[in-house]
Each structure stands twice: as C-alpha cells, then as structure tokens.
Amino acid sequence: MKRRWPAKSTLGYTAVIVGCFALGMLAGFTSFANEVDSAMYDWMFRLNPPQAASTQSIVLMIDDPTLKDLGGIRSLRSILAKALSRISTVQPKLVAIDVILTDPGDPSEDERLENALKATPNVILATDFSNDAWEDPIPGLRRWAVAVGTTLADEKSLDGVTRQIPLEEAERRERHWALSLEAFRVARGVTRILETPDDLQLGSTVIPARRKDNRPLRIRYLRDRSPALSLKDLLAQRDVIPTVSLKDLLAQPELVEGFRGKAVFVGVYSNTAARDHVVTPWGGHMAGVEVNAQAFETLQRGIFYVDSRNDTMLAFCIAVAVCAGLLFAVTGGWITYGLAALLLLAAHTVPFLFFHRGIVFPYFAPLSSAWLTVAGAAIYQHFVVRRQLFKSEDQRTRYRQAIHFVTHEMRTPLTAIQGSSELIGRYNLNDDKRKQIAQMINSESKRLARMIQTFLDIERLTDGQIELKREPFDLKEVVNSCLDRACPIAERKHIALHVDGGLEGSVRGDRELLEYAIYNLLTNAVKYSSSDTEVLISTRPGGDQVRLSVRDQGMGMEPKELKKIFQKFYRTKRAEASGEQGSGIGLSLVDQIVQHHKGNMEVTSVPGEGSCFTMVLPAFSPVKVKEEAGSLMPSRDR
Ligand code: ADP
C-alpha cells in the first residue's frame, strides 16, 4: 500500500523533529550535561592510556618528612638551595621550581638561594596572578632564572578535576606562559614561541591551543606514580614520571644520578594542605608540581587531544536528527526500530571513535538530541499517524454500517414497491385498485426517502457537518403523526395503541428526526409484543423537562441486555428468537437523536412483562424564550 504523506502532517512532523533537536541541543548546555561530558571524558581517557614511551622529567618533592627534617616551611628557601646544590652536580636539563618566591625572606636565606640559583643552569621560576597582582619572584632571584611561568590549574572545571591547564595567562598588561610550556621551550632550546589564534609553535612542535580560552592544553596524564624508588628503579622507569622526596635524595646520594639530563620539577607537597592536591581523570590525587611535569610530558610527546569544532558537532547532531526523521517517515515496523537502535548506537559510539583519534567530542548534546529526535519521531508516528489510520478505519466501519442499514431497513419498503409494480404490470386492474397501489408505491417511496434522509442527517450530525434544526413544535402533533403511521401495523397484530392524557409539552429541535425516533419506539413496542396486548404512549411535562414514554406489555429484556440495546446492531436473544425482522440499528439512532437534542433515554423492563422507553428532552417554553430575547433588547431608559 502506498503511504500517503500530506503536506500538513509533513510540516507537523518536521516541527516535532526540529523541536526535539533544539531541546536536545539546549540540554547540552546544562550543568548536568557538563557533568556527564566530564565523566565520559574521564572514562574514555582511562580507556585510551598514552602509549608507553620514556619520560624526560622527574619530580623532586619537598614533602612533609623533608620539611620536618629541614626546619619546616619557614626554611623553604634554604631547603630549595640545598636541593639545587645537590642536583646541579649532575647537570639536569632544566629545573622548574613550582614555589612562589614573591616576598622578601630572611636575607641570609635569600642569599643562599640566590647563590644556588646562580650555580644551576636553566632554572625556571613560578608566578601566579592572585589578589589582582602578579606574584613574580623577587628581583634578586628572578635575575638567575631563564624564564618565569604560571602554575594555574583547571579553573573552569566544575567538578574539581584538572583535565586541562591554561598555557597562557595575560593580566594587567603582563603575559606569562605556563611553567610547563616554558620548561618545554627551554628543553627544546627554542627562544621564541610562535603564536597563531589557534595554536602555538615551538620548533617543529605545533600545539593546538586556542587563544580564545587562554590556550587550554588537555593533559595526557601518565599512569599514577610508583611508590618509593631505588636508583635502579629510577633509571629504568618508563611511562611514569619518577618522584623523589628530597629527604630520600639527601639520605641516598646515589639517587642524584636519576636527575642527570632530566627536566626537574621541584615543588612542595603537604599531605595536610588541601590546595596542594589535584584530582586527575585517573581518579587519584596528585601534587600541583606533578601536574606541571605531566603537562611537560604531554608537550614533549607531541600527541594532543583537541576539542572537536562546534560546526562538526552540530553537523553530526543534525545528521542524526535528519536520519531519525527520515527513518520513521519512510520505513515501517520492526525495521524502523532496528535502524533507530543502530542510529542511537552510532550516536553513542562516535564520541569514542573521535576520542580514540585524539578529538574530544561532547557526549551529552549529540546523545540527547539523538534520543529526543528518535523518541519524538517514534511518538509522532505512533500516535498521530496511528490516529489517522484509526480515523480512516472508523470511516470504513461507518461505511459498512451504512450498507448494513440499507440492506436491512430498506428491504421492506423496497419489497412493497417491487411487489406493487409487478401487480400493475402483470394484472389488468381496475382504476380503484391501480390508484390504491399507486398511492402505496408513493407512500412507501416517500418513507424510503425519509429513512435515507434521517440516516444521512444523523451521520452528518455526528460528523459535525450540519447543525441540528432548532424549530419549536408540540409533541402532540409529532406523536399523532407517528400513531397514524403505526396504527395499521398494530391492527395487524391486534395490539391497541392508547394515548394517556393530552400529550402536552413542547420541544425545540429537529422535528423529522424526533418523529423518526418516536416512530421507532412505537413500532418496536408493537414488534416485540404479542397479540392482544396494549401499548401506551404518554407525555409528562414538568419543570425544564418533558418526558415522553412508550410502554408495552411485550417480551421485555434482561437487566444486562438493557445496557447494550443502544449499541449499533445489538439484538436481544428473545428478539432474535421471536422471528421479528430487525437490524439492531434503530435504537442507536434514537439514542443519538435524543443526545443531539441534549436529552437522554431511560429504559425499564421486566422479562416477559413488558418495557417502558422514556425520552427525556429539554422542554420548550415560549415565555422563557421571550424573556431571554427581551433581556437582550436595548432599553429605552438607558
Ligand atoms: P431492531 O428492532 O431493528 O432489532 P432496534 O435498535 O430498534 O433494532 O432495537 C434493538 C434491540 O432492542 C431489539 O433487537 C430488541 O432486542 C430490543 N428491543 C427494542 N425495543 C424493545 C421492546 N419494546 N421490547 C423488547 N425488546 C426491545
């Protein structure tokens, strides 16, 4: 079957897909999305550890035991001097000191440190922008350093995990590169860093780092450091950055060999000072000075993680949304769901594939837009398109019912017309007889036309195609007309039709439809009663309502049957067994007609004793209508 795809539903469908897509993209900007992206980054990071390669750096840690042995943090400058004089003997490639030396200290200590710096080549000192000022080292120390670098951590990280560091920091007209970048520059023997808006170039190494966000560098952390080392371990280390406590270095002089030719990162790390701890994507803690060494190793290896371009991400999300939309529009059944599952799988795996190639793709936005568009498309197809199907199914059922009605209800008058016309053709009839038959044909065809009209009117009313007529009329006229028509049928069965009272009461509505309904109740009463019984028709006006009842002494119905008699095509077992012809549609039309007149049907019945059908309709009162109209007329006094 060819699927119809009218323009209106295409527009609606497109709107749903676009809406879901936009919602998915917006969701990508929430803090929850940021959390998910970060968690996924860490997971993918752990799945893709850096390739094994020998490291160029070593960390010399002034830790708690060192501080305890060498006079505490107050003697930091003498401790640094001691460390420098110990390692300068083996000519390290460079020494980066992650300690802020901005305040003048004890003059003798400052002098000791100055002398040690003088004797150590390629020293890089640290600075920081804090409290609105740069914390540069005091000039006496600064003059012996080849460079000064910043030691900022990932300040934009919402969860405290340091995934990247800024390589550039410009404040108050002063610009500094990161300590690790300066160390890398010195290690490479490069004097100038070439800058473009998107990257930095040092010799042959191009570092992708946008100027816009302070040139962030994602650190490819090596695995957690190993525990205490012997010299042998120290020299054999690959894939980790060795860390040596100054206390151990002083106690085991042979360890100094591990510093030969290396980039040494010196820093303080106290277990008790929270600000010294940095959390990494590996999940563990690390000293701030080690982060510098890790960043240095990342630069040294030259393999970087870069953020995907925004337009690439957007193009991918749009492609997924379009695929989801087309999928549900073009295909159908399980294939659609299978392909949708594949699409979602693709949306889940693409960030992994990108990450494997060094491109950091946001995880949440593509995923949320993929899920939302797939769900939106599925729901739309399920409910809206299904509803269209149901509608056409409903139309087909009603068409079938119409055919059913025609075959059942119209058979009787058609048979009468057919028989009469045959009589005229076959026999030589006198004028009186011919006139009588012609009259019968005329009245039966009129009845047929009325029936068709009634049926069509109800169908159109139900469809909302036409409005109910709102003419006022007395029930008496309509009931009498029905009685005239039903009399011959009742007489044939010797059933007496009685009228109780003066048939008072007026209603407003469609006279023909109500006549059809009352006639139906009357003929049913006659049809489902045995000979020599009575049918009583009465009206009871009272208040806002008028009640019209048709009571018979016929076969009656079971209580559970009463609930179903207004359903189309329902017939009771007794009615079927009685041999009386019927389609089971009459009462359903009666019910609809009464409902369209804002009324309702009441039925009471006792099997074998009889039934009473009551039509309850809103009463028409000419006085009330006049009053209502009067209240709407403009008053002369006003
Ligand atoms: P039809 O009379 O063509 O079968 P209706 O819709 O008029 O269809 O009535 C539905 C069913 O309700 C009838 O088949 C019959 O079983 C039951 N019924 C209607 N009127 C009476 C009545 N006065 N007494 C007993 N049963 C009735």
Question: CB-based contacts of 629: which residues, under 8 Å, 6+ apart?
Answer: none
* Tens-digit pLDDT profile for residues 297-312: 999 999 899 988 889 9
Q: pLDDT digits over 73-110, tens only? A: 888 999 999 999 999 999 999 999 999 999 888 899 99
Q: How far apart are CA 573 and CA 286, in angstroms?
A: 87
Distances (CA, A) of 207 to 49, 175, 193, 309: 20, 18, 10, 16
- Residue 631 — pLDDT band, cuts 50, 70, 90? very low
pLDDT of residue 226: 56
Residue 535 CB–ligand 1 contact under 6 Å: no
Over the stretch 364-409, which tens digit does the pLDDT of each residue have?
Answer: 999 999 999 999 998 888 887 778 788 778 767 766 776 776 676 6
- Rounded CA-CA distance 351/45 in Å is 12
Q: How many CB atoms lie within 10 A of CB 266?
A: 24
Ligand 1, from 571, 576, 605: best to mutate by most atoms within 8 Å of Cβ? 571
* Higher-confidence position of 258 and 412: 258
Which of 294-308, 567-581, 620-634 has the highest mean predicted lDDT (pLDDT)?
Answer: 294-308
In tens, the pLDDT along 231-276 reads: 666 666 677 888 899 999 999 988 999 899 999 999 998 776 555 6
Task: Tell me the CA–centroid distance for residue 491 and ligand 1, in Å.
Answer: 20
Q: What is the mean pLDDT of the chain?
A: 86
**Ligand 1 site, residue 165, Cβ cutoff 6 A:** no
Give the number of the atom of ligand 1 that is nearest the alpha carbon of residue 585.
Answer: 6
Query: For 138-167, what is the mean pLDDT?
Result: 85
Q: Average pLDDT in the 314-335 region?
A: 88
Confidence category of residue 287, pLDDT binned at 50, 70, 90: confident
State in Å: Cα 565 to ligand 1 middle: 7
The strand pairing partners of 471, in sequence order, are: 509
pLDDT in tens, 509-543: 999 889 989 999 999 999 999 999 999 999 998 88
557 lines ligand 1 (CB under 6 A): yes
Rg (CA), the chain: 48
> Does residue 6 register a pLDDT over 70?
no
pLDDT at 370: 92
Q: 464: which 2 tokens? A: 């909302």
Where do the domains of the chain lie, and which CATH numbers do they carry? 8-42+307-390 (no CATH), 51-302 (no CATH), 397-459 (1.10.287), 468-621 (3.30.565.10)
What's the pLDDT at 445? Answer: 87
Q: Is the pTM of this model over 0.75?
A: no
The per-residue pLDDT for 113 is 94
pLDDT tens digits, one per residue of 459-473 = 776 666 667 788 999
Q: Given a cut of 70, is residue 1 above it in pLDDT? A: no
Q: What is the DSSP letter of 73?
A: G
Name the more confident of 31 and 542. 31
